[in-house]
Structure 1
């Protein structure tokens, strides 16, 4: 007996770990050795390979493939058809001794059709715009978009764009944010 839902056309291999309350929809496939946390939503036509580690309350929209070496922390959103890679020098029938590790930190969001190159980290609550190509690490709370993705602003934990004043301070959701040397920090909570 399972305490998660699998659509009749979904596939969870024996040996995959899936947390309670998680929903796996049509044509989604979770490999043996993958770990998916509680209350996740794994939408249609997704693939989660052996070695993927996923936290709780993660949303993976349609058409996403997560490869070995990808770690997804809690409360992450991955938009439709976002693309992840794990091999820095891909060649047919030539396999690396170790795949590159990609980490999506707590609460970050990856927009539709974004491409993530291997071995990168997207910081806590960062927002990657749709169609972006991510080639470098993204700091916490950064708003990035473009090809290549570049920092275009900063977002609150709720996802709203922060309007920095002349002192590089912004308020949102009862929090005060300070931007110092390219690092956004929460300095107080109301």
Structure 2
């Protein structure tokens, strides 16, 4: 693992793969079979379970556990203490095993706010923004702004992170969007 920083209090199991430029801070555990891309940052007390795939440039803040069945594409932001699940009906006495985990995919550039919960079996679209404390129980379209419990769409978000007005033009970076079915698409 060249050009990778792993704090001495963290544990990286044999069989984990970590891309160059990635930094893993205090008290993290990266389990066997996990793959973490290049130039990622994992804050304090992050757990990455077996067979999890994390793309390049992801930022995972303190106290986040990414369980088997969850996949983060590149440039995903996970705010402090956000929660992922992988089993809709867990039982300690009757574990089902990984073949029964529900897959959850967080698409490129999506951001998940602090203390948000992502219930398993759903997809978060590219560049979507999940507000702090929201509980996601459905698929989320690309660029959607999701707030509340349960999370409901409250608007659209630019690739740069700015909440878009009714005209779907970003006042910060100048990008423009148009409606495309249940989502929006950048106008080039």
User: Would you say same fold, with TM above 0.5?
Assistant: yes
Q: Provide, for residues 88-118 of structure 1, a one-character-per-residue CA deviation record: whole Å limited to 9, x for no partner.
A: 1111132234211100000000000000101
Give 2:132's aligned residue: 130
Match in the other structure for 1:111? 113
CA distance in 1, matches of 2:25, 2:3: 15
Alpha-carbon distance between aligned partners in 2 of 1:93 and 1:22, rounded to the nearest angstrom: 37
- Matched with 1:147 is 149
Instruction: Quote how far apart the aligned CAs of 1:144 are.
Output: 0.5
Determine the structure 2 residue equivalent to 1:157.
159
TM-score, scaled relative to structure 2: 0.94
CA offsets 1:72-96 (integer angstroms, 9 cap, x no match) = 0000100000001000111113223
Partner of 1:3: 3
The equivalent residue for 1:86 is 86
Cα shift readout 1:115-164 (whole Å, capped 9, x = no counterpart): 01011110000000000000000000000010000000100000000012
- CA distances 1:6-34 after superposition (whole Å, capped 9, x unpaired): 00111111110000000011101100100
- TM-score, normalised by the number of residues in structure 1: 0.93
Mind listing any 5+ residue stretches in structure 1 that lack a counterpart?
Answer: none
Tell me, in whole angstroms, the C-alpha distance in 2 between the residues paired with 1:94 and 1:125. 37
Preserved CA contact (<8 Å) 2:162 2:170? no
Structure 2 match to 1:98: 100
Q: What is the CA–CA distance in structure 2 between the aligned matches of 1:94 and 1:17, rounded to whole Å? A: 31
> 1:180 Cα deviation (Å)?
4.4
Partner Cα separation in structure 2 for residue 70 and residue 76 of structure 1:
12
How many matched pairs?
185
Unpaired segments ≥5 residues, structure 2: none
Moved over 3 A (4+): none
Cα RMSD after superposing both structures: 1.3
Q: Within 1, Cα distance between the matches of 2:15 and 2:152?
A: 39
